[in-house]
Structure 1
Amino acid sequence: MSAQAGRDLLLKLDETASGAFQTVAGLRARRIAFNASLVDITTAESAGQWRELLENAGTRSANLSGSGLFRDQTSDAAVRSLFFSGGLRPWQVIVPDFGVLEGPFQVTALEYAGRHDGEVTYELALESAGALAFTAL
């Protein structure tokens, strides 16, 4: 995969869980991380006392974060409403020339900031809340 502009990564929300995704905001910085916990099954009889892990037994998760400008009042209101309700909704993360990650997420952090001579910015954090699907592009 060749180098790509960070602005090409898109974060989209399906506010009504109907399959219609809309770009949420003008993100200036974004990050996605995948995590997996381990299940250690090492015993005194493990070969050479090396750690042994149980295959496919750990918990997997993903978290997303971003900062930037909301596209409009509607997208700002949608994300803010999800934060205060604690609701779970389908989100998409589109990485051009790589793939699309889709699944339920919860908004776990929402911060607003602004300078007296600039625009209002936000920071957003999402945590996976169920099975995620990845489709290669």
Structure 2
Amino acid sequence: MTAQNGKDLLIKIDMTGDGLFETVAGLRASRISFNAETVDVTSLESQGGWRELLAGAGVRSAAVSGSGVFRDADTDERMRALFFAGDVPTFRIIIPHFGAISGRFQITALEYAGSYNGEATYEVSLASAGSLSFEAEV
């Protein structure tokens, strides 16, 4: 795989609940991380005293975050409404030249900032709220 543009990693939000996805506008930086908890089943009989993990067990999750500037009233309002309602809509995360991750996420943090002589900015954090699907880029 060759080097990719960071601006091509996109966070898309379902705007209507019907699969109408729009890119969250104004993002300058975005990140996705996958996590898997382990279940330790080490016992006195574990060979050589090495830790043993139970395959397929534990909780898996994904976290998504992004930051940027206000650019679009529709996606800004949708994120605000979802945060205050506590809803868990479908998001689609586009990873350039890799594929797309889709699933339900909850907005766990929504931060706004601004300085006297600068632009207003925001940061958003999402936590997975169910199983995720992956669609490879073709």
**The TM-score by the shorter chain falls in which range?**
over 0.9
Equivalent residue for 1:105?
A: 105
83-92 or 8-17, which deviates more = 8-17
Q: Secondary structure at the match of 1:88?
A: coil
2:126 corresponds to 1:126: yes
Equivalent residue for 2:79?
A: 79
- CA drift of 1:13 comes to 0.4
Equivalent residue for 2:35?
A: 35
113-122 or 75-84, which deviates more = 113-122
Cα contact 1:15–1:90 (8 A) shared by 2: no
Taking the aligned partners of 1:105 and 1:67, their CA distance within structure 2 comes to 17
Cα contact 2:86–2:106 (8 A) shared by 1: yes
- CA drift of 1:50 comes to 0.9
Q: Secondary structure at the match of 2:89?
A: strand
- After superposition, residues 16-95 of structure 1 pair within 5 angstroms as 16-95=16-95
Q: Secondary structure at the match of 2:29?
A: strand
Deviation track 1:6-50 (CA, whole Å, cap 9, x = no partner) reads 111111001332111111212101111100000111111111111
Cα contact 1:24–1:71 (8 A) shared by 2: no
Deviation track 1:71-124 (CA, whole Å, cap 9, x = no partner) reads 311111100011111100000010121110100000000011112222211000
Cα contact 1:24–1:70 (8 A) shared by 2: no
| TM-score, scaled to structure 1 | 0.96
Taking the aligned partners of 1:17 and 1:41, their CA distance within structure 2 comes to 42
* CA root-mean-square deviation: 1.0
- CA drift of 1:4 comes to 1.1
Taking the aligned partners of 1:15 and 1:87, their CA distance within structure 2 comes to 12
Taking the aligned partners of 1:16 and 1:116, their CA distance within structure 2 comes to 35
Taking the aligned partners of 1:33 and 1:13, their CA distance within structure 2 comes to 18
Q: Which amino acid aligns with 1:10?
A: L
Q: Secondary structure at the match of 2:40?
A: coil
Taking the aligned partners of 1:25 and 1:125, their CA distance within structure 2 comes to 15
Percent of aligned pairs sharing the same letter: 58
Cα contact 2:31–2:64 (8 A) shared by 1: yes
Q: Which amino acid aligns with 2:93?
A: V
| Structure 1: segments with no counterpart, 5+ residues | none
| Structure 2: segments with no counterpart, 5+ residues | none
Q: Which runs of 4+ in 1 moved over 6 A?
A: none
